[in-house]
Amino acid sequence: MQGELSANKKATHSIERAFASKFAKSMFISVCGLAILSFIGTRMFTHIDLNLYGYMVGTIVFLGGFFYRFIAWGERPPTKIFIKKGLKLLFRKSTPKTTTEHLVTYRFIWNRGLYRWTQHILMGWGCVIAAFVTFPLVFGWMYFTMEENGYYTVVGMGIDIMTIKADGVLGYLFYNALNISAVMVITGVCMIIYRRLKNMQARAEQTVVYDFLPLYLLLFVSITGIALTFINMFLHGWGHSVMSLIHQYSVIVTLIYLPFGKLAHIPFRPVSIFARNYREHYAEQSMKHCKVCSEEFVSTEQSNDVVHVLGVNHMEFKKEDFHLAELCLPCRRKYRIAQFSGFPTHEVKVKEANQNAKG
């Protein structure tokens, strides 16, 4: 038995040592996976659209940036804890509901108002639809063949899935899926830009490069994409080659930039389900009472994890008879004020006006 365990350990170590880092291993596995799926989807590379080659290169570079960013983020002590515990709680009964609210209906944004929910729905689902259409086409997982009888055959992963009329409703939706998603993104982005320019609080918190540049990139990609359809329909293809290159370069630049800017939260968003499960599960077990006001403010497990992570990072916030992580947020703010004023404001039994505010 011990011999088998040692052999397994040696095999694991030998596999790990074959790569320079976790990033290298993740990237290698992903590229190999894409190649295998493309081999199957294109029927042994017999249906490849070389016009989409640039998008393929941009996607692979995007994956490299994503893995680099995700692994660097995942190696942080607090991230390790909630990902590890979140994975164990992935099959909670509430997971399907949480997944729907976070990734489909965006209910967590609904509490912030109808306007903000609408802009996120339009931009978010516009990007999702565009991704679901673009990536399968780029890697050959899906393509269309057309017979002389006016029917399209939809091919997915090398298998003929369905046959549809070229001038039918489904054919129209398939052909214009990217145009529909572009209109959704343009509308959502314009709503976001308008709010950030008009709302004084949002305006004070925004920076041009970090907050507005990603929106301008999405806007430019969507507009140039619609321009291609406009050129084909109304200009009889005049200038199509130039606009096609402009659109392709804009998509590639956006994909390369995506993992390193504010838009990185889009591929990271599914991890929020782990965090939600983590908070809910341990809150049901035991809640931590604030050392000053005695109100429940977080789960006991999360409070202990915060203390542990701070210790790992050599950040000690232990005071006379409590740890700062054992204070609720209002009492913690009051305690910080007390350090400057000399008056123990955190011991004053008066609640802040917005102490229990939600959203």
Model confidence at 24: pLDDT above 60: yes
Model confidence at 307: pLDDT above 60: yes
pLDDT band at residue 349, thresholds of 50, 70 and 90?
low
Q: From CA 161, how far away is CA 155, in angstroms rounded?
A: 6
- For the chain, give the longest Cα–Cα distance: 86
Mean residue pLDDT of the chain comes to 82
SS (H, E, C) the chain: CHHHHHHHHHHHHHHHCCCCCHHHHHHHHHHHHHHHHHHHHCCCCCCCCHHHHHHHHHHHHHHHHHHHHHHHHHCCHHHHHHHHHHHHCCCCCCHHHHHHHHHCCCHHHHCCCHHHHHHHHHHHHHHHHHHHHHHHHHCCCEEEEECCCCEEEEEECCEEEEEEECCCHHHHHHHCHHHHHHHHHHHHHHHHHHHHHHCHHHHHHCCHHHHHHHHHHHHHHHHHHHHHHHHHHHCCCCCHHHHHHHHHHHHHHHHHHHHHCHHHHHHHHHHHHHHHHHHHHHHHHCEEECCCCCCEEEEHHHHHHHHHHHHHCCCCCECCCCEHHHCCHHHHHHHHHHHHHCCCHHHCCCCCCCCCCCC
194-253: pLDDT as tens digits: 998 888 777 777 888 888 899 999 999 999 999 999 998 888 888 888 999 999 999 999
User: What pLDDT does residue 208 have?
Assistant: 81
User: What pLDDT does residue 117 have?
Assistant: 93
| CATH architecture assignment, domain 19-272 | Up-down Bundle (1.20)
Model confidence at 9: pLDDT above 60: no
Listed by start position, the domains of the chain span: 19-272, 286-347
Model confidence at 8: pLDDT above 80: no
Beta-bridge mates of residue 152: 146, 164
Do 142 and 156 form a contact (C-beta atoms < 8 A)? yes
Q: Of 312, 314, 310, which Cα lies nearest the Cα of 324?
A: 310
Compute CA distances 262 → 118, 207, 211, whole Å: 20, 11, 7
Please compute the mean of the pLDDT values over residues 57-84 and round it to a whole number. Answer: 85
pLDDT band at residue 4, thresholds of 50, 70 and 90?
low
pLDDT band at residue 357, thresholds of 50, 70 and 90?
very low
pLDDT band at residue 60, thresholds of 50, 70 and 90?
confident
Q: How many CB atoms lie within 10 A of CB 247?
A: 20
User: What pLDDT does residue 266 have?
Assistant: 81
Q: What is the pTM of this model?
A: 0.79
Write phi, then psi, for 146 (nearest 5 degrees).
-130, 125
Better pLDDT: 261 or 218: 218
Percentage of the chain with pLDDT > 90?
Answer: 16
User: What pLDDT does residue 5 have?
Assistant: 47
Measured CA angle at 328 (ends 332, 111), to 5 deg: 115
